[in-house]
Amino acid sequence: MNAPASSCAAPIGIFDSGLGGLSVLRAVRAQLPAESLIYVADSRYAPYGKRDDDFIADRTLAICEWLVAQGAKALVVACNTATAQSIALVRERLAVPLVGVEPGIKPAAALSKSRVAGVLATQVTLRSARFQALIERHAADLRVLCQPGHGLVEAVERCDVNSPALVELLRGYVEPMLEAGADTLVLGCTHYPFLDAAIRSIVGERMTLVDTSVAIARQLERVLDQHGLRAQPADGAGATAGTPARFCSTSDGAHLRTLAAALLGIDAQVECVSIPSPRTREPEAA
Ligand code: DGL
């Protein structure tokens, strides 16, 4: 087991397959402004939703280990797909406090009046045992319409959050839900909150959109408190002190910078990082 960094001033590591975790980072910055953050977008290998289970576990573990090596005191796996597939493995291997994300089935069950709710998520998330367990635990009296969001992660990765083609793609996913009586839509992928306006342009006020990023930030706050790891404003490394976050990408980082600027108003200097893992390591030269 790796030993976690334990200083309160150490950063929190946040990771996603790509840019979607920025929706979680936005909520964490709002909830915990004194914290210093390191964000990793594994954009070189996104979307994870098209990868096999071993590949997702391999990348998730490698990136979490890398964040711990950078001094992270706690980690947020800001990816439903990686959480569904691999969080148990990461918990087994790393001693650092860890927060994952999962589709907001529980809030949807509390909110839906029609008792029909749609879930948009990746195919990997929807077919995972964790997701099935969530449904069994919280949605016994709810009809849940599961729709894989094919093509949506790719759109956000190229910073397309409102093109006509994207709106048509979304329409094909959400109109059948409306026709089936759904009044609630769970955004079960951290990329999807960036499609909020495009979804609203189709559903208007007929659906409540469930995004769990604020709940994740609160959960992170509780976990930090349990471990006595909350940064104090005097630590001086957090967002209020003018060091918003360290942004890293396994691809060229241009889209991470664009999306952070457009959607979060952050002028991010993006570091291009190489995070090898057993499945992605270059073969040794002969
Ligand atoms: N943001 C990731 C999630 O929450 C996207 C997964 C993918 O890369 O397909 O599932």
- Return the CATH number at 146: 3.40.50.1860
Per-residue model confidence (pLDDT) at position 240: 46
Contacts (Cβ under 8 Å, ≥6 apart) of 33: 233, 238, 239, 240
Ligand 1 centroid to residue 235 C-alpha, Å:
33
- Cβ atoms of 135 and 144 within 8 Å: the answer is yes
Q: What is the domain range of residue 193?
A: 105-211
Per-residue model confidence (pLDDT) at position 178: 98
Per-residue model confidence (pLDDT) at position 286: 40
Kindly list the averaged pLDDT for each block of 10 residues, start to end, along the chain of length 286: 61 97 95 96 95 96 98 97 95 97 98 98 96 96 97 94 97 98 98 97 98 97 97 62 77 92 88 95 56
69 domain-assigned: yes
Per-residue model confidence (pLDDT) at position 21: 97
- Is the minimum distance from the CB of 193 to ligand 1 under 6 angstroms? no
Residues linked to residue 246 through DSSP beta bridges, in sequence order: 38
Catalytic residue positions? Answer: 79, 189
Ligand 1 centroid to residue 259 C-alpha, Å:
16
The answer to whether residues 95 and 113 belong to one domain is: no
Per-residue model confidence (pLDDT) at position 283: 54
- Is the minimum distance from the CB of 125 to ligand 1 under 6 angstroms? yes
What Å distances lie between residue 60 and 39, 76, 88, 244, CA to CA? 13, 11, 11, 24
Split into its structural domains, the chain has a count of: 2
279 domain-assigned: no
Over the range 167-195, which residues count as b (16 or more CB within 10 Å of their CB) and which as e? eebbbebbeebbeeebbbbbbbbbbbbbb
- Cβ atoms of 68 and 46 within 8 Å: the answer is no
283 domain-assigned: no
The answer to whether residues 199 and 242 belong to one domain is: no
